[in-house]
Amino acid sequence: GDGRGYSAARILREAGYTGELRAVGDVLIDQLAAMRRCGFDSFAPEAPLDPADAEAALARWPDVYQSAADARAPIWAKRHG
């Protein structure tokens, strides 16, 4: 894709949408973390993903540098309160 799905998810979350946002279709394991940060909370890939690989992909980067739709605190905020 061209990234519009990522943008749409972020816009919906910023507008206050709290329902499910599901990524459907050509969802690749290396996209999961970015999709989660943009606001997707559910995934329905065309090809099955190994659950352990999916969990590892989502946990790969425990710290982030900027705020996003997933509401994780950026590392600078953790360091400087």
CA-CA-CA-CA torsion sign (16, 3, 24, 57): negative
Q: How confident is the model at residue 78 (pLDDT cuts 50, 70, 90)?
A: confident
Measured between alpha carbons, how far is 68 from 37 in angstroms, rounded to an integer? 6
Give 25-65 pLDDT, tens digit per residue. Answer: 999 999 999 999 999 999 999 999 999 999 999 999 889 99
Measured between alpha carbons, how far is 43 from 49 in angstroms, rounded to an integer? 10
Number of H helices, E strands in the chain: 4, 2
Residue 1 has pLDDT above 70, yes or no: no
CA-CA-CA-CA torsion sign (48, 24, 72, 29): positive
Q: Please state the domain extents for the chain.
A: 4-80
Q: How confident is the model at residue 71 (pLDDT cuts 50, 70, 90)?
A: confident
Residue 81 has pLDDT above 80, yes or no: no
